[in-house]
Amino acid sequence: MDALVKTAPGNGNVELQQRERPTIGETEVLLEIAYCGICGSDLHIFDGVHDCTPPVTLGHEFSGTVIEAGDEVSTLHVGDRAGFRRTWSPFPGVDADGGFARYMKAPAEHLWAVPDALSFEEATQFESVRPPMTIVRDMADLQAGEKVVVTGPGPIGLLVTNVASMDGAGHITVLGTDADATTRLPAALELGADKTATFCDTALTSIEDHPPDVWFETSGAAPAIEAAADYVASGGRIVVSGMGSGPYNLDMRRVARRNITIRGRWGGKNEYVEPAADAMIAGDLNVSTIISDILPLADWETGFELARSAQGIKVLLEP
């Protein structure tokens, strides 16, 4: 079968290879992959700045159909549509073979049957919805009516916007770059933002007049986290999930004097998968809005380029 493999450490070293169909154990299932999404961590693995254990098939945002089940598996059956339910180790696409391939094996207890009302495409995002739910509800403890700024309208920032809107934020401003104006900032409005703007002095001056209670920094860009410290309201909260290279020059004097809380978060809680799926079914959490492109696995290079650029948002590959 074709599989997208990180062959060695360092920058690049990713290629399509022929790999053997996996053999499952007694507690595992074999999935025929329908789609697998390109995550920012896949791009970081390509760049050599995210740990992994090569050679390894990439991809962890998967959905598919169970075509084999181990003798001890009782929760899933052949023919079931299945997706991510909770994290396991070694993590697929990082330290174990993942979903950028026709077939993938996985421990059955960490998957669940995709609800009938959700598509395979939506089901790829079960893993991806955990961080935004965790960021908004646990890290920020967002309260209804609070003002919010989100910097970085990538997949995570857009889903943070959606969850904040769903949870009753009073006003949401999403800031991006000029390149985000065509695709990503319009998507933010669809997902509940009240206002979008290009990150610039004019936008920051407008924010200064109505400072947000919560600032979600999902871009990793140094000017964005620095602006968060400069413009969030007194007593406000800044939640940082963007992974940038820095350096960062924060006004820590203002942070201290204005009683500002800064918290970081990587990943999300497994307990949010089912509530997120319920919200998707209800039409409140609209992951379909962020799925911008579906490409065959053979076009993975184009997919990676789209995922890096502001032309795409969430790109799915189809084996």
Instruction: Give the range of the structural domain holding residue 102, as residue numbers without chain letter.
Output: 2-128+285-318
Angle ∠(79,113,26) on CA atoms, nearest 5: 70
Are 88 and 101 in the same domain? yes
Phi, psi of 228 (to 5 degrees): -60, -45
Are 166 and 220 in the same domain? yes
> Would you say 225 and 217 are in contact if contact means Cβ atoms under 8 Å apart?
yes
Number of domains in the chain: 2
This prediction's pTM: 0.95
Q: How confident is the model at residue 246, as a pLDDT?
A: 86
Close Cβ partners of 282 (under 8 Å, ≥ 6 residues apart): none
Are 155 and 215 in the same domain? yes
Q: How confident is the model at residue 234, as a pLDDT?
A: 98
pLDDT tens by residue, 220-245 = 999 999 999 999 999 999 999 998 88
Are 124 and 10 in the same domain? yes
Are 260 and 134 in the same domain? yes
Does the residue 18 lie in any domain?
Answer: yes
Does the residue 270 lie in any domain?
Answer: no
Are 124 and 199 in the same domain? no
Gap between the Cα atoms of 129 and 119, Å rounded: 15
Does the residue 179 lie in any domain?
Answer: yes
CB atoms within 10 A of CB 146: 21
Are 55 and 174 in the same domain? no
Does the residue 151 lie in any domain?
Answer: yes
Gap between the Cα atoms of 140 and 221, Å rounded: 20
pLDDT band for position 116 (cuts 50, 70, 90): very high
Mean pLDDT of 308-315: 93
Are 134 and 251 in the same domain? yes
pLDDT band for position 78 (cuts 50, 70, 90): very high
Lowest pLDDT segment from 32-46, 68-82, 238-252? 238-252
Q: How confident is the model at residue 317, as a pLDDT?
A: 98
C-alpha neighbours within 13 Å on the C-beta side of residue 291: 21
Does the residue 272 lie in any domain?
Answer: no
Q: How confident is the model at residue 243, as a pLDDT?
A: 83
Mean pLDDT of 68-97: 97
Does the residue 273 lie in any domain?
Answer: no
Q: What mean pLDDT, rounded, does the chain reach?
A: 97
Mean pLDDT of 108-131: 97
Are 257 and 138 in the same domain? yes
Are 108 and 155 in the same domain? no
Does the residue 52 lie in any domain?
Answer: yes
Are 106 and 135 in the same domain? no
Chain length of the chain: 319
Q: Per the structure block, which two tokens stand in for 298?
A: 């053979």
Confidence check: pLDDT of 26 > 90: yes
Q: How confident is the model at residue 310, as a pLDDT?
A: 86
Gap between the Cα atoms of 291 and 285, Å rounded: 13
H helical segments located in the chain: 40-47, 120-123, 130-134, 155-166, 184-190, 201-209, 222-231, 252-257, 273-282, 300-308
Query: CA-based diameter of the chain, in Å?
Result: 63
Q: How confident is the model at residue 178, as a pLDDT?
A: 96
**Percent of the chain's residues with pLDDT above 90:** 97
**Percent of the chain's residues with pLDDT above 70:** 100
The gap from C-alpha 167 to its chain's centroid, in whole angstroms, comes to 19
Q: Cα dihedral angle (236, 240, 241, 243), rounded to 10 degrees?
A: 160
Mean pLDDT of 19-28: 97
Does the residue 257 lie in any domain?
Answer: yes
What is the domain-level CATH number for residue 257?
3.40.50.720
Strands of 2-6's sheet in order across: 14-18, 2-6, 56-57
pLDDT tens by residue, 148-205 = 999 999 999 999 999 999 999 999 999 999 999 999 999 999 999 999 999 999 999 9
Q: How confident is the model at residue 212, as a pLDDT?
A: 98
Q: How confident is the model at residue 245, as a pLDDT?
A: 82
pLDDT band for position 9 (cuts 50, 70, 90): very high
DSSP letter string over 13-57? -EEEEE-PPP---TTEEEEEEEEEEPPHHHHHHHHT-S---SSEE
Gap between the Cα atoms of 319 and 316, Å rounded: 10
What is the domain-level CATH number for residue 62?
3.90.180.10
Are 253 and 198 in the same domain? yes
Q: How far is CA 4 from CA 10, 56, 107, 160, 165, in A?
A: 16, 8, 21, 29, 36
Q: Cα dihedral angle (87, 280, 133, 160), rounded to 10 degrees?
A: 120
Candidates 220, 194, 221, 218; CA nearest to 207 is: 194
